[in-house]
Amino acid sequence: MQQDLQDLIDKNAQLVLHPASSVSALLESGPDMIVSADGCYIEDAHGNRLLDAVGGLWCVNVGYGRSELARAMQQTAEKLAYYHTFSNASNPWQVQLAERLLEHAPAGLGKVFYGSGGSDANDTLIKIAWHYHTLCGNSGKTKVIAREQGYHGTSISTASLTGLSGFHKGFPLPQDFVLRVECPHYYTRGRVDETEEAFCTRLIDEVATLIANEGADTIAAFFAEPIMGAGGVIEPPEGYYPRLNKLLKKHDIFLVADEVVCGYGRLGTWFGSEQLGLEPDMISTAKGLTSGYFPMSAAMISDTIWDVLKQGSEQLGAFSHGYTYGGHPVGCAVALVNLDIIEREGLVQRAAESGEYLHAQLRRHLAGHPNVGEIRGRGLIAGVQLVEDKAQRQVPDPAAKWPLRVAKVTRQHGVVVRPLLGVGTLAMSPPLTISKPQIDVLVAALGRGIDSLASG
């Protein structure tokens, strides 16, 4: 390794506080320094070339090293490196992008609000829900329902929505505007002798009871990832979303689909909502919007909500919310070219086809393993549930760090998968460009990782 890289590694833990990382563990082990990437591969500081089966952090949908995207950044930055979008300021790229996004968006969505990441998009949508209800004379509608194991970000409001206790530990979180309901995972949450249908009914009844107890006039919105990502790649039972749509509509509670992971082709459709039957009033998107090449989010809202905001601005003046980098010209230009690539290369369809192959190979090679309980997901998102006891569906104790151990050995075999420690799961969300031979390499390496559990 070059000396200057070694120096940076040595200084890293002294200088940088990392997200979702233990300070002491970083001091002990040093950083995992990634220095370059191309296609589906990343290269670390030690010269290891690794198949990145996570796509960065569920986001590099078109793969790494796309010169077209780099050129779009350079050309746009040379023309208009930055200008804000507050107080009616605009730029051509944000308008072109809105038009393109809405061509693909779930039915009923008609307006776009830009930000810099998934957390701020969700934060925006909480505020839009509050603002809407206030403008409609229902200022008491402030609570937000979110699910156990859901992940919606780490800002104060969105960490509160996030239903993973690790994101609350050591902070005065979650805030009390959040109402929590059961994680819709039949495999781990279904009761003995409970059918999947009965489980679904129990989940919907739980939401109905919560609404009755709290009062619909106190509840603004329900947040849901179509398929949960960080919570374990979890898909609710059949019939859950259609029933949820109906229940929430009846009580004038918004359904907000968090499409930050599922959006832009990941599941083999443009958005997860259309495939899983959600009828969202608003969606948040980020990650695959620019394939991670530029930090950016796009939240989309229905025309009905926009009409109320329009009337509100006549009463109150400005919609006083926004971020310095919202509608960034360079980010919008990157997103436009990213959409060009997804469309031109048919990556949505390709994710559906490669996804079928990935799931078939995972099932074929891993389903029979004594420590594999469930293989789940759709398109190019997959989760492999580890179990200590298959018959009892006994998920490993997080303290035993099984997912970390598996991910470490999988990496020694050249493949990066994401360990989800708290839920005993290995997650995958590779670039949508991944090939069948690369999927074979991924499944074989993961198999070696899981086999290593047997050696203690």
Ligand X SMILES: Cc1ncc(COP(=O)(O)O)c(C=O)c1O
Which residues of this chain interact with ligand X, rule CB under 6 A? 57-58, 117-119, 122, 151-153, 225, 229-230, 258, 260-261, 286
Minimum CB separation of residue 414 from ligand X in Å reads: 25
Q: Which is nearer to ligand X, 243 or 418 (CB)?
A: 418
Minimum CB separation of residue 456 from ligand X in Å reads: 32
Minimum CB separation of residue 234 from ligand X in Å reads: 12
Minimum CB separation of residue 426 from ligand X in Å reads: 16
Element (H, E) at 258: strand 254-258
3-state DSSP assignment of residue 33: coil
Q: Which is nearer to ligand X, 234 or 386 (CB)?
A: 234
Minimum CB separation of residue 149 from ligand X in Å reads: 11
Rg (CA), the chain: 22
Q: Which is nearer to ligand X, 260 or 426 (CB)?
A: 260
Minimum CB separation of residue 219 from ligand X in Å reads: 21
Q: Which is nearer to ligand X, 150 or 190 (CB)?
A: 150
What CA–CA distance (Å, rounded) separates 435 from 447? Answer: 18
Give every CB contact of residue 105 below 8 A, 6+ residues apart in sequence: 270, 271, 283, 300
Q: Which is nearer to ligand X, 147 or 152 (CB)?
A: 152
Residue 108 one-letter amino acid = G
Please, what sign has the CA dihedral across residues 299, 302, 305, 307? positive
Minimum CB separation of residue 60 from ligand X in Å reads: 13
Cβ atoms within 10 Å, residue 350: 19
Among 234, 253, 245, which residue's Cα sits nearest to residue 163? 234
What CA–CA distance (Å, rounded) separates 178 from 256? Answer: 14
Task: State the residue number with the nearest CB to ligand X.
Answer: 118
Residue ranges of E strands in 204-252: 219-224
Q: Which is nearer to ligand X, 58 or 132 (CB)?
A: 58
3-state DSSP assignment of residue 339: helix
Q: Which is nearer to ligand X, 261 or 409 (CB)?
A: 261
List residues bridging with 223 in a β-sheet: 256
DSSP 8-state secondary structure symbol assigned to residue 240: H
